[in-house]
Amino acid sequence: MPNITTRVFPQAIFDWLVQQGCSPILARIYAARGIEQPSQLEAALSKLLPFEQLKNIAEMAVVLADAIADQKRLLIIADYDSDGATACALAIRALRKFGACVDYLVPNRFEYGYGLTPEIVNLAATSNSEYRPDIIITVDNGISSIEGVEEANRLGIRVLITDHHLPGEHLPNAAVIVNPNQPSCPFSSKNLAGVGVIFYVMLALRAELRKRGVFNNCFKEPNLASLLDLVALGTVADVVKLDWNNRVLVKHGLHRIRNGKACTGIYALLKVAKRDYQRISTNELGFVIGPRLNAAGRLDDMTLGIECLITDDEGRAFEIASELDRLNRQRREIEATMRDSALDQLALNIKFQQPAESVYSICLYDPNWHQGVIGLIASRVKEKFHRPIIIFAPGNEGEIKGSGRSIAGINLRDALDLVSKRNPGLIKKFGGHAAAAGLTIMEHDFQRFQAAFEQIAQQLLTPADLTQQIETDGDLNETELSLALAQSFAEVVWGHGFPEPSFNARFYVENQRIVGEKHLKLKLRKLISNTSYDAILFFQTEPLPECIQAVFRLQANEFNGNTTLQLLIEHWSDNNEIKND
């Protein structure tokens, strides 16, 4: 049973924010998220962290400016997720605005795996000699591509790495590396997504070209803010922490989308999803557009997603978006089958039905599972069992590929590093960050890895870590629980590290009915109130008990031209069962 807690906040900060004009409810919410001054809520682009803080960025700008002047052939090597696709599209659009000769290549995850591998370098160098690159630029990958960079160096191809993932003990021997997480990088935000890193590189390149006097009446200086829609999409979809700098980037990207100034592909994706671009939120970036874009990399080839984001032809964009929508529906079907299969595996083992404190991790493998969906299954299983999870599917030549998701208390990449060091040769390769990671092992080593990973999990986690904590912002009184508050929340950029406000209260369930064949439409009344509220509980058809305790968010629900308050139920329990602090 999860433990519901209320976010704490410094009383002195709360009082100060109220004095500065914040309403008590907003002051409480902001103070609990580390906001100490109203100025921290400002979002002027001019206040972004300066690109000069990024280690090596000036050097990379010089290399790129020289390459453009000499008409060197540039090749972008992208990751196959939403962050990689948006980073690639941004790089292509920006470099072409600067007059560069640039193309891209995204590895097919099923043939080549992740990152700049020697195989990808050789494919780039030999697939068509006319387009053999002089320079490879990685986006959202490369920091662990030691062998790939060595192969490029051997072939005389320079490599520029732009990445945000955590580096290993050794860095690749690239010409230049820009990564806020590389050693001794002074950039004060370590949470840039891959698309954010390449955006900063393009800012530095523009400054270098400006210094060289490239821009004139015939060659106007590009407005790089026009690319912030891509930055917003990639940042939110990659679930990086929305620190202040990222919130500024996302806010301005959302503003461009809502005002009809985004790229054609984003509007095509919203159109096939039947969403109104003028009211798009961070939730829709992450859970509506992101999955459709990701579907290309999961089931097919992310080239499809990148083409959607770089074309300016509305017809072609809609055609591609429709295919991405079809792939996403197919992905959902595969995911549902695999999720049921994973839960069936766990159901056969009694210790996983209600995991005892002696079980600290879960590793599952099935030779029939799809490699492109294992990360999603890991997330679903983690939500149910609150353990670090790694899901494996078949790879190439006796290998199996794993995708993991973690919980607070254990850094997944560091845990895999410990497994690798204590069991030399067990893990063929791995990478990632604290919350998510990927790895490759041999199929015959699965049980050995399972035991080794469990040992590390038991070492790093405590029994208290195994109880899910649901943080809320407490309760709301009748005056606060309003449509106006829901609408004010909609104007703020929320996300990972700056969570959207959620609340916790007890309700009588006055009415409930199934809508859309799989959701519950509810009428709820608070136990200490006479006011009833509309609510929705997605993906449940079983009726609720008469009295519940619920964690909920506020929504401004639009229907038939009317806007009303609706409570979105995120978690519920019988009022007599849930634990509280």
The DSSP code for 495 is: B
Question: For the whole model, what pTM was predicted?
Answer: 0.91
Section 227-236 average pLDDT = 98
Please, are residues 507 and 526 in contact by the beta-carbon 8 Å criterion?
yes
pLDDT (tens digit per residue) in 295-307 = 999 998 899 999 9
Place 390 in a pLDDT band, splitting at 50, 70 and 90.
Answer: very high
Tokens standing for 199? 């955006």
pLDDT (tens digit per residue) in 146-194 = 999 999 999 999 999 999 998 988 999 999 999 999 999 999 999 999 9
Distance CA 181, CA 163 (A): 9
Please give the CATH topology (third level) of the domain spanning 471-580: OB fold (Dihydrolipoamide Acetyltransferase, E2P) (2.40.50)
Place 43 in a pLDDT band, splitting at 50, 70 and 90.
Answer: confident
Average of per-residue pLDDT values in the chain: 93
Please, are residues 488 and 26 in contact by the beta-carbon 8 Å criterion?
yes
- One-letter amino acid at 74 equals L
Q: Where are the domains of the chain?
A: 47-325, 349-466, 471-580
Section 414-420 average pLDDT = 95
What are the CA-CA distances from residue 216 to residues 144, 166, 209, 210, 550 (Å)?
Answer: 40, 40, 11, 9, 60
pLDDT (tens digit per residue) in 233-277 = 999 999 899 999 999 999 999 999 999 999 999 999 999 999 999
What angle, 0 to 180 degrees and rounded to 10, lies between the N-to-C axes of helices 290-299 and 228-237?
70
Per-residue three-class SS string for 166-221? CCCCCCCCCCEEECCCCCCCCCCCCCCCHHHHHHHHHHHHHHHHHHCCCCCCCCCC
Place 435 in a pLDDT band, splitting at 50, 70 and 90.
Answer: confident
Distance CA 213, CA 215 (A): 6
pLDDT (tens digit per residue) in 51-99 = 999 999 999 999 999 999 999 999 999 998 999 999 999 999 999 999 9
pLDDT (tens digit per residue) in 482-538 = 999 999 998 899 998 999 999 999 999 999 999 988 899 999 999 878 889 999 999
- One-letter amino acid at 272 equals V
- Higher per-residue confidence, 539 vs 101: 101
Section 461-465 average pLDDT = 92
Per-residue three-class SS string for 443-475? HHHHHHHHHHHHHHHHHHCCHHHHCCEEEECCC
CA angle 116, 118, 119 (to 5 degrees): 95
pLDDT of residue 348: 79
pLDDT of residue 166: 87
pLDDT of residue 577: 52
Q: Which CATH number fits domain 47-325: 3.40.1210.10, 3.90.1640.30, 3.40.50.720, 3.40.50.620?
A: 3.90.1640.30
Looking at the DSSP bridge assignments, the partners of residue 431 are 438
Nearest CA to 96 out of 312, 409, 338, 281 is that of 312
Tokens standing for 473? 């912002």
For residues 550, 487, 262 and 227, what is the CA-based torsion angle, rounded to 10 degrees? -80
Distance CA 76, CA 197 (A): 14
pLDDT (tens digit per residue) in 343-369 = 999 887 655 555 556 789 999 999 999
Nearest CA to 512 out of 539, 541, 483 is that of 541
Q: In the CATH scheme, what is the code of domain 349-466? A: 3.10.310.30
pLDDT of residue 42: 85
**List of residues 6+ apart from 239 with CB closer than 8 A:** 286, 435, 495, 496
Distance CA 224, CA 269 (A): 22
pLDDT of residue 578: 43
